A and B are shown apart, each in its own frame.
Chain A
Amino acid sequence: MSIETSEFVNPRRTADGKEPLLDINTLYVEYLTRRGPAKAVNNVSFSIQPGEVFGLAGESGCGKSTIAHTILRVLKPPAVITGGQILFDGEDVLKMNDRQLEDFRWRKVSMVFQSAMNSLNPVITVGEQVTDVILRHNKVSKKDAYDRAAELLKIVGIEPERLKSFPHQMSGGMRQRVVIAIALALNPAMMIMDEPTTALDVVVQKDILQQIQQLKETMGFSILFITHDVSLMVEFSDYMAIMYAGEIVEKAASKEIFTNPIHPYTQGLLSSFPSLTGKKRKLTGIPGSPPDLVNPPTGCKFHPRCTRCTHKETEVAPQLTEVLPGHWVAVHAGMPLPTGNDRIGQSSVAKR
C-alpha cells in the first residue's frame, strides 16, 4: 500500500463550517543566532475549535513551546516572527500593538507555564498572586478581588484559607492548582498549557488532568495542550498534531493518530512508550537526535533518522496532505506504509 499524491491544499481543518477559535496560518518563527537564523517554527498551520482540547506533541526542541509563546507574543529576543497569521476570534494577534496585546493576554488566552511550580513568587502569598491578575485587568475593589481569588481556589480544589500561604508551604500539586487558578482568573476563552504536569508524579498528574477536564466541561474554554508524553496526550486531547524540527508532520483526531499513525516519526514516538495492556514488546524509540535548526537536512527533515525513507536524495520537502479524511501527513508520495510488525500495541485496529 502506498500513499496517493494529492494536490497541496491549505491543511486547515474546516470542520462543518464552524468558525475556529484559534486559527494559525503558515506561521514562521526564527531565532536569530550568530550562526544564522534557526527556523524554530516552519510553516505551521492548525486551528482549534471552541471547547476543544488540541494537543501538540514532539520531542524537546521541536518548537512546541515556541508556538505557545508566539500565540501570546511573549517570546524574548532573539526570537522573531517572520511570517503567517494567528487569528484569534478573527483578530490577527500578529497585527496587535503592545496596548492591544495587554488586553488580549490572559483575558482571552491565558497560559500555564512549563515550570508552573516555579512561576509562583516565593516571597509573596498565594492570595496576593491570584488577586494581582484580577486587579490588574479589572476595575474591582481589593475585597472583591480577594473573594474572587477564594472562589477560584475552591474551583481548583484548594481550601480558600490557603490564600494566606506562601508557595513553599504547599505541595507541588497544590502549587500547580494555584497556577491553574491564576490562569482561570479572567475566564479566558482559551488556555495554553505548556507541559503542565511534567514535574508532578503520576497520581497527582492524573488528578490535575481530570480537574482540568472537568473545568473545561463546565467553563467551556479551549485548551492548547503541549507535552512530549504522547500516550497522555492521546487520552486527554480531541485532536492533535505531531511536530518535528519546527514542522507539523502529522495531524489528526487523537484516536486516529493513536490507532493509525502514518508518519514514521509519529510511530517512533508512540513506540517509545510501553503499552500497559498490549503484549510485551521491545521499546524501539527513534535513533539519532533532532536536527540542527540552523542547517536542517534538505528535503524531508526527518530523513536522516528515518528507517523507511525512499526519497533520501530528494531536495523537495513533503507537504502536509490529507491522506485519510481529517488525517494529514507530511510524507513523500509512495512511501511504504508500515507492516504489522512496525506498528505499536494494537496493530489489528489499524486498518480501516
Chain B
Amino acid sequence: MDTVEKKLPVGSDPKRKRGARINIPRTSALYTLLGSPKARVGFVIVMLFVLAAIFAPLVAPGDPKEFVGATNQPPSAQNIMGTNPQGKDVFRQLVWGGRLSLLIGFGSGALMVLIATIVGMISGYKRGIVDDILNFIMNLFLVIPGLPLLVLLSAYLKPGTATVIFSLAFTGWAYNARIIRAQTMSLREKDFVAAAVVSGEPVLKIIFVHILPNMVNIIVGGFIGAVIYGIMASTGLAFLGLASTQDVTWGTNLFWAQNGGALMIGAWWAFVPSGLAVALVAFGLALINYGMDEITNPRLIAERDVKSVLRKAKLPRMRATPVVPHEH
C-alpha cells in the first residue's frame, strides 16, 4: 500500500457542540468570581448597597435632612425605620448616607493602593538609597498611630469629603506598600525580569508592565482591605464628630444618634441600620476577597471542583488523589 502523506487538520473536532445560549464565558474572571458561593454572597451584599446608594432618589425619595416628624419614633408605616433623635427619617438617612460612605471608602481605598503600589514597587525594585529612603518613610507611617494623626488632620483641615479621603489615604497607605515592596523584591529576581533588563527595557516599563501584572492578586486584595479600612475609619471619624456634620454618611448618622441620646433611651432603630450597613459592606467585601483568591490561584478552583465531584459521588475527602470509579 502507498504511504501517501496527507495533511489533516490536527485537533479539529466536528462533533464539538457550541453552547446553546449566550452566557458568561466559563473561563472569564467574572465567571470564576461568581462561581464561588462565598464571593457570590459578598457580591450580592455589596451590589445591594451600591445600587441603593446610586438610586437613592428612587429608593428613598426626599431630603434625608428633612425634619419629618416627632423624634425617636419607632418603625411605622410612615417611617419604615422610624425617626432619629432629630426627627429625621432613618431609612432616608441610611440610603443617602451610603452615597458618601461608599464614595469615601472606595475613593480612599483606591488612593491608598495607588500610593502603596507606586511607592512599594519603586522601593522594592530600585533597592539601595532609594529603597532606604522610601522604606524609612513607610516605617515612619507604620509606627505613627494612625487614628490620632487622622483626628489631627481632620481637625485642622477644612472639613469635606475630599479632606476625609485624602487624610485616610495619607495615614493608611504604608501597610500595603510594605507588602507590595516585599513581593516586588521577590519578583525582580525572576528570570523574566532579567530578560527584560538585558533587552534594554526602561525601568518603569519593567516595573509596571512586567512585574505589576504578576501581583494583581495582592493589589486587588490590598484594595479590598483598604476600602474596608476606609469605610470603617471614616465612620469612626464621623462618629467622633470630626467629619462635616452637615453631610449625611453612616458615620454622621451614628454621630447624631449618639448626640441625641438614642443609645440611652433605647431607640435602637436610630443607630442599628447605619452600623449594620457598615458591618455588612465590610463583610461582603471580605467575602469577595475569597473569590479573588480563586481567580488568581486556579488550583483553588480545581480543588473546589474535585470536592464537588467527591460530594456527588458520596466519597470522603482525602489528601491523596481521589479515586472516583465510573464507566468508560
Interchain nearest-CB distance for A313 vs B (Å): 12
Contact of B324 among A81, A95, A98, A338 (CB under 8 A): A81
Contact call A32/B10, Cβ cutoff below 8 A: no
Do A28 and B328 touch across chains, with their CB atoms under 8 A apart? Answer: yes
Q: Given A77-B302, A295-B16: A34 and B328 within 8 A (CB)?
A: no
Q: Are A82 and B325 in contact (CB under 8 A)?
A: yes
Interface string of A27-53 (1 = CB under 8 A from B): 010001011000000110000000000
Report the separation of the CA atoms of residues A339 and B13 in the bound assembly, to the nearest whole angstrom: 32
**A70 with B321, Cβ < 8 A, contacts A82-B328, A291-B11 known:** yes
Query: Which of B63-71, B112-120, B186-194, B303-311 lines the interface with chain A?
Result: B303-311
Q: Indicate if the CB atoms of B318 and A98 lie closer than 8 Å.
A: yes
**Contact (Cβ within 8 A) A81 B10:** no
A98 vs B316: C-alpha distance in the bound complex, in angstroms?
A: 11
What residue of chain A has the Cβ atom nearest to residue B32's Cβ? A34
Cβ–Cβ < 8 Å partners of A291 in chain B? 10-11
Is B302 within 8 A of A32, CB to CB? yes
Q: Are A97 and B299 in contact (CB under 8 A)?
A: no
Residue contacts A-B, CB under 8 angstroms, 16 given? A70-B321, A74-B320, A77-B299, A77-B302, A78-B303, A80-B323, A94-B323, A95-B323, A98-B319, A292-B13, A304-B9, A307-B3, A312-B6, A312-B8, A338-B3, A339-B3
Residue among B15, B309, B321 making CB contact with A73, cutoff 8 Å:
B321
- Please give, as numbers and ranges, the residues of chain A lying within 8 Å of B23 by CB-CB distance: none
A75 within 8 A of B: yes
Q: CA A82 – CA B328 in complex, angstroms?
A: 9
B248 smallest CB distance to A (angstroms): 45
A292 adjacent to B11 (CB under 8 Å): yes
B26 at interface by CB-CB < 8 Å: yes
Given A76-B321, A97-B318, A295-B15, 14 further pairs, Cβ under 8 A: A34-B26, A43-B328, A73-B321, A78-B303, A80-B321, A80-B323, A81-B321, A81-B324, A83-B328, A98-B319, A297-B13, A307-B6, A336-B3, A338-B3
In the bound assembly, the distance between CA atoms of A77 and B306 in angstroms comes to: 6
Within A85-143, the residues touching B (CB, 8 Å) are 94-98, 101
Known A78-B305, A78-B306, A101-B320: A295·B326 in contact at CB below 8 Å: no
Nearest chain B CB to A7 CB, angstrom units: 20
Contacts of A73 in B (CB 8 A): 320-321
Bound form: Cα–Cα A75–B303 in Å: 12
Give Cα A297 to B9, complex, Å: 11
Query: Are A75 and B321 touching (Cβ within 8 A)?
Result: yes
Q: Does B76 contact A (CB under 8 A)?
A: no
Contact across chains for B321 and A304 when beta carbons are under 8 A apart: no
Within 8 Å CB of B306, what residues of A?
32, 77-80
A34 near B27 with CB under 8 A, answer yes
Q: Is B322 an interface residue (CB 8 A)?
A: yes
Check A305 against B10 for contact (C-beta < 8 Å). Answer: yes
Task: With A32-B302, A292-B11 as known contacts, state yes or no: A82 contacts B3, CB within 8 Å.
Answer: no
Chain B CB within 10 Å, residue with most, of A78, A83, A288, A342: A78
Q: How far is the CB of B119 from chain A (nearest CB, A)?
A: 29
Cβ-based interface call for B209 (8 A): no
Q: Are A79 and B324 closer than 8 Å at their CB atoms?
A: no
Measured between beta carbons, the chain B residues less than 8 angstroms from A310 are: 1
Bound-complex Cα distance A73 to B324 (A): 13
Interface residue ranges of A290-331 to B (CB < 8 Å): 291-292, 295, 297-298, 303-305, 307-308, 310, 312
CB-contacts of A160-185 with B (<8 A)? none
Name which residue of chain A comes closest to B308, CB basis.
Answer: A32
Inter-chain contacts of A101 with B (CB < 8 A): 320
Instruction: Give the B-binding residues of A (Cβ under 8 A).
Output: 28, 32, 34-35, 42-43, 69-70, 73-83, 94-98, 101, 288-289, 291-292, 295, 297-298, 303-305, 307-308, 310, 312, 336, 338-339, 342
**CB of A288, distance to nearest CB on chain B (Å):** 4
Q: Footprint of A on B, CB under 8 Å?
A: 1, 3-6, 8-11, 13, 15-16, 26-27, 299, 302-303, 305-306, 309, 318-326, 328
- Residues of A near B309 (CB, < 8 A) are 32, 80
Which of A35, A70, A304, A336 is B10 in contact with, Cβ under 8 Å? A304
Contacting residues, chain A, for B319 (C-beta < 8 A): 98
B323-A289 in contact (CB<8A): no
State in angstroms the CA–CA spacing of A179 and B40 once bound together.
Answer: 45
How far is A78 from B304 in the complex, measured between Cα atoms in Å? Answer: 9
Taking CB atoms, residues of chain A closer than 8 Å to B322 are 80-81
**Complex Cα distance A70/B320, Å?**
9
Chain B residues whose CB sits within 8 angstroms of the CB of A288 once the complex forms: 10
Residues of chain A within 8 A of B325, CB atoms compared = 82-83
Does the CB pair B9–A336 fall under 8 Å?
no
CB distance from B196 to the nearest CB of A (A): 23
Known: A32-B305, A98-B318, A288-B10. A81 touches B323 (CB 8 A): yes
Q: Which residue of B lies closest to A39 (CB)?
A: B328
Q: How far is the CB of B8 from chain A (nearest CB, A)?
A: 5
Closest-CB distance, A323 to chain B (whole angstroms): 17
Q: What CA separation (Å) do A298 and B8 show in the bound complex?
A: 14
Q: How far is the CA of A75 from the CA of B318 in the complex (A)?
A: 12
In the complex, the answer to whether A77 meets B303 with C-beta atoms within 8 Å is: yes
In the bound complex, CA of A171 to CA of B1 (Å): 54
> In the complex, are the beta carbons of B3 and A80 less than 8 A apart?
no
Q: Please give the distance in Å from A91's CB to the nearest CB on chain B.
A: 14
Task: Determine the distance from Cα of A14 to Cα of B26 in the docked complex, in whole angstroms.
Answer: 47
Q: Please measure, in the bound complex, the distance between the C-alpha atom of A35 and the C-alpha atom of B306, giving whole angstroms.
A: 14
The 8 closest A-B pairs by CB, nearest first: A78-B302, A73-B320, A77-B306, A75-B321, A77-B302, A336-B1, A288-B10, A77-B303
Residues of B within 8 A of A342 (CB): 3
Q: Which residues of A contact B13 (CB under 8 A)?
A: 292, 295, 297
Cα(A308)–Cα(B13), bound, Å: 21
Least CB distance, A103 to chain B, in whole angstroms: 12
- Cβ of B1: which chain A residues have Cβ within 8 Å of it? 310, 336
When distances are taken between beta carbons in the complex, the residues of chain A under 8 Å from B15 are 295, 298
B321 engages A69 (CB within 8 Å): yes
